[in-house]
Amino acid sequence: MSKFIQDVLISIIAFTLASCSTALQDYKETEAPFDIKQYFNGNVIAWGVVQDYSQEVTRRFCVEIVGTWEGNKGTLAEKFYFNDGEISFRNWQLTKQNDGSYRGTAEDVAGIAIGKHQGFAFQFQYDFLLKLDDETYQVSMDDWMYQLDENRVMNKTSMSKFGIDVAEITLFFDKEFPQKTCQ
């Protein structure tokens, strides 16, 4: 293969890969930007799936969330119901910063979670302490929420270890019917 054709092919591949990445600033400001403090205030219910590296669905779940806020400090109390009978809990402690970003901690999160929003999108990044059998693994979570309307939000999360994607989590949040429960 000639050097010129090889250089053109490499340029095309590099451009294609670069254009596939998503950055928060790719989302334009909207009239009413997505603010998790407003959305996650009160009762919210969500349904989701976990897919492994091969995209096979390995778990399904429902989660009940109760959000409470005092000023810029909030708690999201989450109760997860998995299809295999497991029930687990997570309590997020969130603080809205002066620049509109969020900082958060939870029992199964290592360090501080960082959240930022732009337009209808919210990105939340943190290290999660994943318990499998009798072991705990620290994995990186890249959590993207997209507000569809005032009551519904889609969530896609990439879970990675050493920079390699090991699972994806997809959730659908609904606060239109807060009286509905997972049970």
For 102-118, write each residue's pLDDT tens digit.
Answer: 999 999 999 999 999 88
Hey, CA dihedral for 142, 50, 161, 165, is it positive or negative? Answer: negative
User: Is 20 domain-assigned?
Assistant: no
The residue behind tokens 């499998």 is 132
State whether residue 115 is helix, strand or coil. Answer: strand
User: Is 140 domain-assigned?
Assistant: yes
Domain containing 169 — which CATH number?
2.40.128.20
pTM, to two decimals: 0.81
Average model confidence (pLDDT) across the chain: 86
Residue 125 in this model has a pLDDT that exceeds 50: yes
User: Is 27 domain-assigned?
Assistant: no
Alpha carbon distance 24, 21 (integer Å):
10
DSSP 28: P
User: Is 6 domain-assigned?
Assistant: no
Among candidate residues 150, 151, 161, the one with its CA nearest the CA of residue 142 = 161
Q: Which residue has the higher pLDDT, 77 or 100?
A: 77
| Mean pLDDT, residues 41-51 taken together | 95
Q: Which domain holds residue 157?
A: 33-174
Output phi, psi for 108, to 5 deg: -110, 25
User: Is 41 domain-assigned?
Assistant: yes
- Per-residue pLDDT, 29: 63
State how many domains the chain has.
Answer: 1
- Per-residue pLDDT, 17: 42
User: Is 159 domain-assigned?
Assistant: yes
pLDDT band of residue 6 (cuts 50, 70, 90) is low
User: Is 44 domain-assigned?
Assistant: yes
